[in-house]
A = this chain, B = another copy of it.
Amino acid sequence: MSQNPILKSLIAEQLVSDPGSARGRLLTEAARLFRDKGYERTTVRDLAAAVGIQSGSLFHHFRTKEEILKAVMVETIRLNTALMQAAADQAESPRGKLKALVRAELESINGQTGEAMAVLVYEWRSLSEGSRAEVLELRDIYEGLWLSVLEELSGKGQLKAEPFIVRRMLTGALSWTVTWYKPERGGLTLDGLTEQVMAMMGL
């Protein structure tokens, strides 16, 4: 199992769980179930069965079911903030940076960690009030990354609408791809999809 160097360093810093560990495997399976069935429809018995243990044993790892949801969200946003940062750093021009961000977010949503990204976007309501604050704080960092690139682009007159509105439109549009984009069949590659998104914005 070869691992992304970014993921590797986050694991070393204990900011995300090793996918090979018991906790990591549970969170991976939880993300998949939460995306497919929704958090509420997923029972603790489903979660336990997915990693091959009994439901009672789950509570040795997490105090409540909601704590699992929160962990999925926190670790996902930490990982993806690092991924976006790395993507943006690779490019020089503002346009190149935006394209790299779009590509990276599409990859996250439709790739291995896609389940977890979808959970982050669509299961917000199921997070308890207390947990929201922590996730929100992390999300602000993530969004700040996007905004700084969009504002740079806007400053050069290359953006046709307001940066914060463009970002919100992109959030909706890119996350929605999880419901329809199937890279396996049909000729549209991730790069092709990225191009379409950029083209749509006249970039």
Tell me the A residues contacting B by CB distance below 8 Å: 36-38, 40-41, 122, 125-126, 160-162, 165-166, 168-177, 180, 193, 196-197, 199-202
User: Which listed residue, B40, B126, B169, B199, touches A173 by the CB 8 Å rule?
Assistant: B169
Q: Are B172 and A41 within 8 A (Cβ)? A: no
| A117 CB to nearest B CB, Å | 13
Closest to A165 in B: B196
Q: Which residues of B contact A37 (CB under 8 A)?
A: 125
Q: Which residues of B contact A201 (CB under 8 A)?
A: 200-202
Q: Which residues of B contact A170 (CB under 8 A)?
A: 173
Given contacts A169-B173, A172-B176, contact A199 B125 (CB under 8 A): no
Q: Which residues of B contact A171 (CB under 8 A)?
A: 176
Closest to A36 in B: B125
Q: Are B160 and A199 within 8 A (Cβ)? A: yes
Question: Could you jot down 9 A-B contacts, CB within 8 Å?
Answer: A36-B125, A37-B125, A38-B38, A38-B40, A38-B126, A41-B126, A122-B122, A165-B193, A171-B176
Closest to A164 in B: B180
Q: Are B172 and A174 within 8 A (Cβ)? A: yes
Q: Are A196 and B162 within 8 A (Cβ)? A: yes
In the assembled complex, the Cα of A199 lies from the Cα of B165 at a distance in Å of: 11
Q: Are A196 and B161 within 8 A (Cβ)? A: yes
18 further contact pairs, Cβ within 8 A, besides A161-B196, A172-B177: A38-B38, A40-B40, A41-B125, A160-B200, A165-B193, A165-B200, A166-B200, A170-B173, A171-B176, A172-B174, A173-B173, A173-B176, A176-B176, A200-B200, A200-B201, A201-B201, A201-B202, A202-B202
